[in-house]
Chains A and B, each alone.
Chain A
Amino acid sequence: MESRTWRDNVIDALKANNITLIVHVADRVLAPIITKLEADPFFKVVTLSREEEGIGILTGAYMGGQRGALLLQSSGFGNILNALGSLALPYQIPFVILLSPRGYLMEHNVVQLAWGKALPTTIDALDMQVFDLTSPDEVPFKADKGIKHAFVTRRPVVLSISTQLSGGKDGAH
Chain B
Amino acid sequence: MALTSANIQRMSRADLTSRVLGMVDDDTAIIGGIGNAGFDLFSAGDRPGNFYMLGSMGMAVPIGLGLALAQPERTVIVMEGEGSVLMTLGTLATVGREAPPNLTIIVWDNAQWQLTGGQTTATGVATDLSVVAQGCGIANSNAPTNETEFEQAVRYALDAPSPHAIVAHIDAEPASGRPHDDPIVTKYQFMQAMGQQLE
Contacts and interface: CB of A to CB of B under 8 A. Distances in A.
The B contact surface, by secondary structure, is helix
Interface of A: 21, 44, 46-50, 52-66, 68, 82-83, 85-87, 90-93, 151, 154
B59 A55 contact: yes
Contacts, number: 125
Given A49-B94, A56-B65, A65-B195, 13 more contacts: A47-B97, A50-B91, A56-B61, A56-B63, A57-B63, A60-B69, A62-B66, A64-B74, A64-B194, A82-B57, A90-B183, A90-B184, A92-B184
B31 interface: yes
A85 B57 CA distance: 11
Interface of B: 31, 51, 53-71, 74, 88, 90-91, 93-94, 97-98, 183-184, 186-187, 190-191, 194-196, 199
9 contacts: A48-B90, A50-B91, A53-B61, A56-B59, A60-B65, A60-B68, A63-B67, A63-B191, A65-B194
Contacts of A65: 70-71, 194-196
A90 B63 contact: no
Nearest to B93: A49
A64 B51 CA distance: 12
Given A52-B58, A53-B62, A92-B187, A60 B91 contact: no
Contact of A91 (B31, B69, B186, B199): B186
Contact of A63 (B51, B60, B65): B51
Contacts of B98: 46
Closest 4 CB pairs of A and B: A56-B62, A86-B55, A60-B66, A49-B90
A57 B71 CA distance: 12
Nearest to B97: A47
Nearest to B136: A49
